[in-house]
Amino acid sequence: MHSTTIALIQLGAVFFGLGLLGRIAWKIGVSPIPLYLIGGLAFGHGGLVPLNGIDEFTHLASEIGVVLLLLLLGLEYSAAELVTGLKRSWTAGLVDIALNATPGAIAGLLLGWGPVGALAMAGVTYISSSGIIAKVLGDLGRLGNRETPVVLSVLVFEDLAMAVYLPILTALLAGVSFLGGLTAVGISLLAITVVLVIALRFGKYVSAVVDSPDPEVFLLKLLGSALLIAGLASELQVSAAVGAFLLGIAISGSTAENATRILEPLRDLFAAMFFVVFGLNTDPASIPPVLGAAVALAVITTATKVATGWWAAKRQGISNLGRARAGAALVARGEFSIVIAGLTVASGAVDGKLAALATAYVLLMAVLGPVAARVVEPLAHAVRKRRDATAAA
């Protein structure tokens, strides 16, 4: 059979299988990310039926998936909202870093992966999944709750922290000098500053450049500019993902709303391929040896994220129930954790077991996060009723 024919059959099976997995996830009310990772594990190296002949396409598709994930995340925020959120949440953001990056860093050191591995694992356990959290809050009808702006402020701080963190990690993985690392960080900070200034003062012009009344032209200009900016950012030793995120911030108003609507199906398609490719490149046999560490990290960082949300909501004068909801909402990890692990393992600078640990950890947290957000309110009500009954007795 011709190689192109085989590739088409395999890709068709992959896409159809992803559709079935997404349907299952929708039915049971969880994020599809864990199922996509499991699908990749099943058909990757050491899996049940390894796929061959589609590596080039899936690799490029996964890179586009990362770009689109971060582009749409940037479209969710305006530059003014970012600045306001940063002013409001910087103390909570620092608490978030201290509580949630530390367990990952300690795990990386204990597992013998050195400072670079520790830095990578710190990012894996630190960053919450904005995509999963936004979907869960929408599904549960909590977007208008008092604690939701607190949750979003923490997420904004995390996204900005990633804009600094990713260039540092990329530079260290590439083995550049200390001066080279500082240069990468400086370029990233300069890019963030320039984009925020442009977005605040000239955002309407940026939106006008990519906008178009014709959906086809609009999609081509939007996707083309995202890939172009991502490529240029990567060439400047700034993460392509950060470049896409900054472009999203610069687009605002009705243009951002239209862009989100038109790009969401593409994002979901290519992001699914990203998670599948990560699973394809991870040997399932490597997961059992790190499962204990993944469970331990999941337990610890669930508690630390809940503590972060509780503390941040308390500072805003929110009730105990709202504090609990804020903490539970922040638990989920997903796309960014996998992006970090993917960058690290692809560089070859860190033991490949890091991918196995990150995969197992994200599988646990992507399921645990939505579950925690759903059960926290009934659980809090049950605890309060028991406490009231005890007090009355």
Domain covering 17-24+31-380 in this structure, CATH number: 1.20.1530.20
**Picking from 58-67, 73-82, 98-107, 310-319, which range would have the lowest pLDDT averaged per residue?**
73-82
Coil, strand, or helix at residue 231?
A: helix
Q: For position 300, what pLDDT does the model report? A: 97
Delimit the domains of the chain by residue range: 17-24+31-380
Q: For position 295, what pLDDT does the model report? A: 95
Tell me: pLDDT of 63 over 90: no
Reported as a single tens digit per residue, the pLDDT across 199-258 is 677 777 888 888 888 989 999 998 898 898 888 877 765 667 667 877 887 887 888 888
Q: For position 158, what pLDDT does the model report? A: 86
**Residue 168 identity:** I
Q: For position 308, what pLDDT does the model report? A: 95
Beta-carbon count within 10 A of 322 CB: 23
Beta-carbon count within 10 A of 346 CB: 12
Tell me: pLDDT of 166 over 90: no
What are all long-range contacts of 137-142, with beta carbons under 8 Å and residues at least 24 apart? 137/329, 137/373, 139/29, 140/373, 140/374, 142/325, 142/329
Spatial CB neighbours of 16, under 8 Å, sequence gap ≥ 6: none
Average pLDDT over residues 324-347: 85
Looking at the chain, the whole-number percentage of residues with pLDDT higher than 90 is: 18
Tell me: pLDDT of 105 over 90: yes
Q: For position 361, what pLDDT does the model report? A: 92
Reported as a single tens digit per residue, the pLDDT across 12-54 is 888 888 888 888 887 877 778 778 878 887 776 655 666 666 7
Q: For position 177, what pLDDT does the model report? A: 63
CA distance 171 to 237: 7
**Residue 389 identity:** A
Residue with tokens 């903490």: 327
Reported as a single tens digit per residue, the pLDDT across 141-160 is 787 788 888 887 888 788 77
Average pLDDT over residues 322-336: 89
Reported as a single tens digit per residue, the pLDDT across 369-384 is 888 888 888 887 787 7
Q: For position 369, what pLDDT does the model report? A: 86
Model confidence at 393, in pLDDT bands (50, 70, 90)?
low
Model confidence at 181, in pLDDT bands (50, 70, 90)?
low
Average pLDDT over residues 272-280: 77
CA distance 262 to 265: 7
